[in-house]
Amino acid sequence: MILERKFYMRDTLISAKELLGKTLVHETSEGTTKGIIVETEAYLGKKDRAAHAYKGNTERTRVLFSSKGCSYVYLIYGIYCCFNISSGPADNPECILIRALEPVYGIEIMDKRRGGKGNIYNLCSGPGKLSEAMGITRDEYGIDLTCRESGFYVEDTGIKVDKIKETTRIGVDYAGEDAALLYRFYIEGNKFISRK
DNA sequence: CAGGCGATGTCCT
DNA sequence: GGACATCGCCTGC
């Protein structure tokens, strides 16, 4: 069953943790790919210096200010895309960065998109990697992830997550005190996370 | 095998 | 004009 908008409209820290174990699905002309979300990070908008939305509503961040449960994709370092889901109570421009997936379906397609190296652990173990493997580009900006019609959604298949590790986010040293917040979550012991 | 660094384009000051 | 929620190659131990 597909996660509904109300799943994303709660406290972003709760949603970020509960997304672990859910399955991200993307149906494209090349085929369908699916991966279990194993690592996330929360970005709490106006009160979080590490968040893009901290600086306000701009062309890039506008989806964070307008709707929940939608995809926020941005280009990083001129090369890679990072995939986030807009979240939080209304009027809070928050989001959840998906940092790693455990590939479960369409693995050959993912590998082909990633250069055909044949290493399943190197397909989705990082935000840039999983965007490439799942076929997520800025064309997917603003897509509503709460309906099947878009071909881009998150499913609950009943997977139980044992233990969640809470730690600091990656690459946010510029955020001062906020860099120390424990807003990164991953499934402890999972082999598909981006790094320990 | 760890650490350094270049690629490359958009955003914001 | 500087910085960037990354990745992978290259080097040197």
Span A60-84, pLDDT tens digits: 999 999 999 999 999 999 999 999 9
Span A140-183, pLDDT tens digits: 999 999 999 999 999 999 999 999 999 999 999 999 999 999 99
Span A9-35, pLDDT tens digits: 999 999 999 999 999 999 999 999 999
Interatomic separation, CA of residue A179 and C1' of nucleotide B2, rounded (Å): 24
Provide φ and ψ at A153, rounded to 5°: -160, 175
Residue nearest to nucleotide C5 (CA to C1'): A171
Instruction: Decide if A112 contacts A103 (C-beta within 8 A).
Output: no
Query: Is the C-beta of residue A83 closer than 7 Å to nucleic acid chain C?
Result: no
Alpha-carbon distance of A20 to A15, in angstroms, equals 9
> Which nt sits closest to A80, CA to C1'?
C6
Query: Is the C-beta of residue A169 closer than 7 Å to nucleic acid chain C?
Result: yes
pLDDT at A99: 98
Q: What is the pTM (predicted TM-score) of this model? A: 0.97
Alpha-carbon distance of A130 to A172, in angstroms, equals 20
pLDDT band at A40 (very low <50, low <70, confident <90, very high): very high
